[in-house]
Amino acid sequence: MSTQTMLPESFTALEPFAVDWALTGSAARAARRGSSTAEERQAFYAAAAGELPRALDYLDGKGFDAFDAADERLMAMMLSLGHVALAVEQQKDAEPRHARDRAHMQITKTPAGA
Amino acid sequence: MWKNRAGEIAMNSPNPTFTPVGQDALDWLGTDPVPAKPYYDPEWFELEREAVFRRSWQQIGHVCELPENGSFIRRDLEVLGASLLITRGQDGEIRAFHNVCTHRGTILVDEDEGKRNTFSCPYHMWTFGLDGDLISAPDFESFHVSKAECALPAVACEVVGGLIFVHLGKPEGTLREWLGPYATKLEMMPVARATTFSEYVYEIDANWKLTYDNFQENYHLRFIHPSAAGPVTSPDNPFAYPTAYDFHGPHRSQRIWTKPDMDPPTGVQAIAFQRGAVQAMADGILGTETAKDYLGLFPNFFLFGSPMQHFSHTVYPIAAGKSRGVIRLYWIGEDETPSERFAREYFMATARDVHTEDRAVIERGHKGLASGALKHIHFQTQESLCRHLFNMVAEKVEAYRSEKEGAAA
């Protein structure tokens, strides 16, 4: 994986996080947040949160119809960032207990694909 | 942390602006302790099945789930032991039927949703149309009945504000009459124009009323949702109580209070709000008259008018101590831009976080009540919507019980 580029070239700094966080489906992204460690979340958030506006502007500029596989992965990563940000910015220390309770809330449909 | 934040705001807000709804306006609901047993008793629940759920319009879906002629959805209503088939006919009409083959009662359709012109029972291939008519049945000449007598049993089904409601008894009037002024509110809300939604579902070991009540009082917010409630409370409204309550027949609503000097969001949350607001603006749903209305439609449906998190919540009873919650965030149009997709996923995840906290404490509440330790529970002035639900249910259960006793005598 280290020799292959997974993301659009202007986002190479996020490459180390692509395997873990470029996940298809809202439920899978939510589940990854739930199973992650605090260190994993913190590292991803620290690297990606500042890039979010630029990533969304880049993806908006392309539009869904012009997405290639790298764009799809960048989109999925940013969607995962939304989930992770809730843990880092809102739940903080309560996240581990919250994750256990949250597992009861099954995501069944989203416009992005559940 | 909440105290620090509040203290800081107190210095900046010398003139409190919030006035809670007074008890005087709510005296008509009574002030007595409320009996605990109806919140867990299986015998009471048996009465509610007929007295409440057989005699009410129940929200069951949205027109966007039936986008084309021939679209169908299947819905099970455990409280009445019913499986329903809801279709959009070739004439565009939405109809509901019992999902039961009229030959010998086999469940007709297995799939949750789809698109078809006919439905064939797997048992003996009786085949029905979207309008419920029996189209064909093998060797039908050997039966002693007409096809017209074998149509699927129809269920009363009406739509207001894009929301599909069914009535499994004999409705006393139209859905619009049942909803009264709330029908107009539904039609003004984004749900009336919604074309898609995000959905999450939870099962809970708790009575439907106890579950529902959690979502119609704000007293718990600062304790159960410390992270979400902190920014929306203030020294003059430390519990974020609503600015108004309203009642119509068995239905009720509150008007959500918004802290005037709320700190702006930061980080990823701020980006989600900015990107989401652009789309809400484009959809023309920002700043609408119903944006702060939180409707509770009897018996088990909520809809919050918020443009950014426009969600419905239905609490389906399964047994006296078991329910299922279905939460939907309704959206207008598919994700048009990656920014919109991001905002929608974020708002869905935010609502899910908050409802997670609710679910955990409601189960804890049911466990305590079901132990039988308490004869009564207590509702304060700002829990009047809970009291109103109890009053409405009790009234209907008592009326039904009298009818039954009258009939037996």
CA dist A83 and A33 (Å) reads 6
- Does the residue B168 lie in any domain? no
**Dihedral angle of Cα B359, B360, B363, B367, to the nearest 10 degrees:** -170
CA dist B119 and B136 (Å) reads 10
pLDDT on residue B228: 87
Question: By the 8 A CB rule, do A68 and A59 touch?
Answer: no
CB crowding B201-219: b at 16 or more within 10 Å, else e: bbebbbbbbbbbbbbbbbb
Q: How many residue pairs bridge chain A and chain B with CB atoms within 8 Å of each other?
A: 121
- Does the residue B117 lie in any domain? yes
Q: Is the ipTM of this complex over 0.90?
A: yes
- Domain stops at, among B135, B163, B191: B163
- A81-93 pLDDT, tens digit per residue, is 999 999 999 999 9
- B234-252 pLDDT, tens digit per residue, is 999 999 999 999 999 999 9
State whether the Cα torsion B198-B87-B185-B395 is positive or negative. Answer: negative
Residue A114's nearest CA partner among A26, A5, A22 is: A26
CA dist B200 and B223 (Å) reads 24
* φ and ψ at residue B27, rounded to 5 degrees: -55, -35
CATH number at residue B72: 2.102.10.10
Q: Is the pLDDT of residue B12 over 90?
A: no
- Does the residue B173 lie in any domain? no
Question: By the 8 A CB rule, do B389 and B209 touch?
Answer: yes
Q: Both B348 and B205 in a single domain?
A: yes
Q: Across the interface, do B203 and A82 touch by the CB < 8 Å criterion?
A: no
pLDDT on residue B16: 58
- Does the residue B371 lie in any domain? yes
- A7-61 pLDDT, tens digit per residue, is 999 999 999 999 999 999 999 999 999 999 999 999 999 999 999 999 999 999 9
- Say what percent of chain B tops pLDDT 70: 96
- Number of Cβ atoms within 10 Å of the Cβ of B177: 12
Q: Both B332 and B192 in a single domain?
A: yes
Average pLDDT of B277-289?
86
Which domain does B101 fall in, by range?
58-163
Q: Both B301 and B397 in a single domain?
A: yes
Residues of A in contact with B331 (CB under 8 A): 111
The β-bridge partners of B253 are B246, B295
- Does the residue B15 lie in any domain? yes
Looking from the CA of B323 toward its CB, the CA atoms found within 13 Å total 25
B203 interface with A at CB cutoff 8 Å: yes
Least CB-CB distance to B342: which of A45, A56, A104? A56
B58-62 vs B163-167, strand pairing mode = antiparallel
- Does the residue B74 lie in any domain? yes
Residues of B in contact with A110 (CB under 8 A): 198-199, 344-345, 348
Q: Both B309 and B216 in a single domain?
A: yes
Q: Across the interface, do B356 and A101 touch by the CB < 8 Å criterion?
A: yes
Q: Both B100 and B236 in a single domain?
A: no
The β-bridge partners of B323 are B204, B317
* Total count of domains within chain B: 2
CATH number at residue B380: 3.90.380.10
What's the alpha-carbon Rg for chain A, to the nearest Å?
14
Q: Across the interface, do B267 and A85 touch by the CB < 8 Å criterion?
A: yes
Question: By the 8 A CB rule, do A112 and A72 touch?
Answer: no
Residues of B in contact with A29 (CB under 8 A): 345
- Say what percent of chain B tops pLDDT 90: 88
Q: Across the interface, do A59 and B338 touch by the CB < 8 Å criterion?
A: yes
pLDDT band at B149 (very low <50, low <70, confident <90, very high): very high
- Does the residue B172 lie in any domain? no
Q: Both B252 and B313 in a single domain?
A: yes
Residues of B in contact with A60 (CB under 8 A): 337-339
Nearest chain A CA: its distance from B129 CA (Å): 28
Residues of A in contact with B201 (CB under 8 A): 105-106, 108
CA dist B383 and B360 (Å) reads 20
Question: Could you write out the DSSP letters of every residue in B277-324?
Answer: HHHHHHTT-TT-TTTTEEEEETTTEEEE--SSS-EEEEEEEEETTEEE
Question: Could you write out the DSSP letters of every residue in B200-258?
Answer: EEEEESS-HHHHHHHTT--TTHHHH-HHHHGGG-BTTBTT---SEEEEETTEEEEE---
Three-state DSSP class for residue B113: strand
